[in-house]
Chains A and B, each alone.
Chain A
Amino acid sequence: MNTTAPDTRASTVIEPPSGWFSLDLAEVWRYRDLLLLLTMRDISARFRQSVIGYGWAIFRPLLTAAIFTLVFSIFVRIETDVPYPIFAFAGLMPWMYFSSSLIGVTTSVVDGSALLTKVYFPRLVLPLAKVAVGLVELALQFVVLIGLMVLYRYTPGPELLLLPLFILIMVVTALAFGIWMTALNVKFRDIAMAVPFLVQIWMYLCPIVYPIDLVPQQYRTLYALNPMVGVIEGFRWALLGSVQPNWGTMGISMLVLLVVLVSGVAYFRKVETTFADII
């Protein structure tokens, strides 16, 4: 039996939520094992009992890229500096990650209601556990991309070293928007209905099927308010080394991202104390 004095024991204080919010990321770190296992659960449960399994992660972007090539390179003829299939695939990779992660993060808290109403853990673990799942699919897509690049005899340049940075920005973008959406979704389930639709529209506001040059100069600043513009441009540049992204545009994208992230985490921490009551 522990005979230490009471003041040396770990103490947990439960009080009414006060003030605006406390970030307390140290606590999230203490729960890293849970984060890891929830992530593993999603990864390993995702394609269980499906014949093609992770093949789906490859077929989806590949088929989409093929259709885009048909429509935008043969029917419509969009001019790109790299072969259109690689152009489209390199743009689709971050986008598909973003859209599926955003949808996953949006429903994460409501989907986790069985846990939320029975056990305490830092609620941020739920959205965080959802952003890693898509990375596995992304990794598989890289294999396909390498195949395409070999096919079209394309060698990446030294910019490739910056790819991890853009992957990180991509993950943070999905998280930043997702945290807002998932916190709002607890109260307004409309969010979960709206996000998949929103994502469809959003795609047309990103330079995926068309290069950014097609956006008229006077709209570029407005266009750059969409953080995914910076992510996709950076991704494509790092992979294909085509045109250097406009760093001004990139700066605006990152600034917007930062605002969304900080406000999202703040809002999440503020309302998380009520999740169990209203879920």
Chain B
Amino acid sequence: MSDSIQIDGLSKRYQLGLTHARSVRDLANRLAGRLIGKGGWKDGGSMIAEPDRVEDGHFWALRDINFRVGQGEVVGVIGKNGAGKSTLLKLLSRITYPTEGRVELFGRVASLLEVGTGFHPELTGRENVFLNGTILGMTRREVREQLDAIVEFAGVEKFLDTPVKRYSSGMKVRLGFAVAAHLDPEILIVDEVLAVGDIEFQKRCLGKMKSVAESGKTVLFVSHNLASIRSLTTRTVVLSHGRLIFDGPTQQGVTKYVEENLIGEDSDVSIADAPRAFSGLDQKLRFTDLRLAGLDESGCLPMTGEFAMEAAITAHDDCEKLQVAITVMTDDKTPVGSTFSEILPAPEKGQTKTYPLVSHFNLAPGRYHCAISITDFRSAATRLHDSLSDVLPFGVGIGALSGSGGPAHWNPAWGMVQLQQLNQVRSDAVHSCEE
């Protein structure tokens, strides 16, 4: 299999802060700052939470990326916001240029960073199809040949000679995607922003992408939607803090990505500062610390399956009582099960109290983590005071199986929960049948 995309030592560095003086006053401030010795240029640096990516007022958006994509391969690129996904996409699309390294793309490339690039509201649908098509690299003749198919795919036949400004936003998106879908590249580089619009349209976009992928084209799909990555790709590249941290089968890549986002004991982010699972939590009661007890050195639950934890909760308002809810999830964020604490007395306003909690999980060997919430005890777990996802990572070792006299390995197809041991019923009534 020959390579379609070769990426060698690719790095991109941006200057932090303003690249130039925005105004005379700004310039004067900076000069004054430098004279005093405050170093006005470094201001941008102190705001960045990743000191390892900052160097002399520059920020490494991507650093030393190496990978190859074979012809006909469909590769996903995942990573958190700010991991460098968009920069990689922009470099491969030749929108911006690398600071170091080299990329070679073999074959005709189409890169789609947005739907309907260059649409002009005053022009008609037809005019915009031509405009958008040529912007994406088609010739006018190619657009003319595909026009009927594009219009049909978008479903805008009746409005073809209406200015696009009179279109609904859905129609605009459909028309834009229809043009993009009729490009005929050998290499397709797609951003997840393509998956916009209503559910039905998103499905159609993904369906089209799937058929492109199956037609033997090389596809690079950038997303943080794990579901679409899993359904479209077999191989995945994971970016973190501007570096490539994983390149391999999608299933493992997704695991790596999820684990990377978990807030565990050795994370830089504390539970008190961690981003919450949703906005709109009242936070009358708030988690300030979460700890698992009794894990072994590889972070696994003890063989008994005992799950022991301590939750420190601070009260910011008067609450009488509370209830803690935990959902256990697998490493690809599939929920396994949930458990609820009994109703507990809340700490007094302004106080913090630590609650030791214990449960018993019969889980299959693997990596897990939890989502945890404090619920209002009167609301039957529908109103939440605080909620965190991606916390309390733990593992279940293979020893958990043999300890209970079970099998020596676990096939993932068997599920994620070890149900209670299947015991022979010691009743005379059953035995009598055999005899």
Contacts and interface: CB of A to CB of B under 8 A. Distances in A.
A200 interface: no
A150 interface: no
Interface stretch (B76-84, B109-117, B263-271, B273-281): B109-117
A15 interface: yes
B219 to A, nearest CB: 14
Interface in A20-51: 33-34, 36-38, 40-41, 44-45, 48-49
Interface string B147-178: 00000000000000001000000000000000
Contacts of A10: 106-108
Contacts of A45: 120, 122-123
Given A14-B92, A41-B123, A34 B135 contact: yes
Interface stretch (B93-101, B203-211, B237-245): B93-101
A83 interface: no
A188 B91 CA distance: 24
B131 A41 contact: yes
Contact of B106 (A6, A119, A276): A6
Interface in B340-390: none
Residue of A11, A12, A117 ringed by the most chain B CB atoms within 10 A: A12
Contacts of A12: 94, 104-105, 109
A33 B19 contact: no
B93 A1 contact: no
B139 interface: yes
Interface string A161-189: 00000000000000000000000000110
Interface residues of A, number: 39
- SS class of chain B's interface: helix, strand, loop or mixed? loop
Contacts, number: 110
A13 B131 CA distance: 26
B34 interface: no
Given A2-B186, A118-B113, A120-B111, A14 B105 contact: yes
A276 B96 contact: yes
Contacts of A40: 127
B130 interface: yes
- Chain B: number of interface residues, binned into ranges: 35 or more
A17 interface: yes
B14 interface: yes
B118 interface: yes
B335 to A, nearest CB: 37
Given A33-B140, A277-B14, A15 B98 contact: yes
B295 interface: no
A59 interface: no
B93 A120 contact: yes
B134 interface: yes
Contacts of B139: 33
A277 B106 CA distance: 26
Contact of A187 (B20, B101, B104, B109): B20
Contacts of A9: 106-107, 186
A273 interface: yes
Contacts of A17: 97
Interface of B: 2-3, 14, 19-20, 72, 90-109, 111, 113-114, 117-118, 120, 122-123, 127, 130-131, 134-140, 163, 186, 216
Residue of B2, B97, B101 ringed by the most chain A CB atoms within 10 A: B97
A218 B157 CA distance: 68
B193 to A, nearest CB: 10
Given A6-B2, A37-B134, A13 B102 contact: yes
A273 B90 CA distance: 12
Nearest to B24: A190
A119 B111 CA distance: 7
30 contacts: A6-B2, A11-B105, A13-B104, A14-B94, A14-B104, A15-B101, A15-B103, A16-B100, A33-B139, A34-B134, A34-B135, A36-B140, A37-B130, A40-B127, A41-B131, A45-B120, A45-B122, A48-B163, A49-B122, A115-B117, A115-B118, A119-B93, A119-B95, A119-B111, A120-B93, A120-B95, A121-B137, A273-B96, A276-B96, A277-B19
A81 to B, nearest CB: 45
Contact of B122 (A14, A48, A115, A121): A48
Contacts of A15: 97-98, 101-103
A50 to B, nearest CB: 11
Given A2-B186, A15-B102, A118 B107 contact: no
A120 B131 CA distance: 14
Interface in A248-279: 273-274, 276-278
Nearest to B128: A41
Given A34-B135, A114-B118, A16 B99 contact: yes
A116 interface: yes
Nearest to B90: A276
Residue of A121, A187, A188 ringed by the most chain B CB atoms within 10 A: A121
Given A41-B120, A115-B118, A14 B91 contact: yes
Contacts of A276: 90, 95-96
A120 B105 CA distance: 14
Contacts of B72: 1
A243 to B, nearest CB: 44
Contacts of B117: 114-115, 118-119
Contacts of B100: 16
Contacts of B135: 34, 115, 119, 121
A44 B163 CA distance: 12
Contacts of B93: 119-120
A187 B19 contact: yes
B179 to A, nearest CB: 12
Contacts of B107: 2, 9-10
A182 B90 CA distance: 22
Interface string A88-131: 00000000000000000000000000111111110000000000
Contacts of B108: 10
Contact of A44 (B102, B104, B123, B136): B123
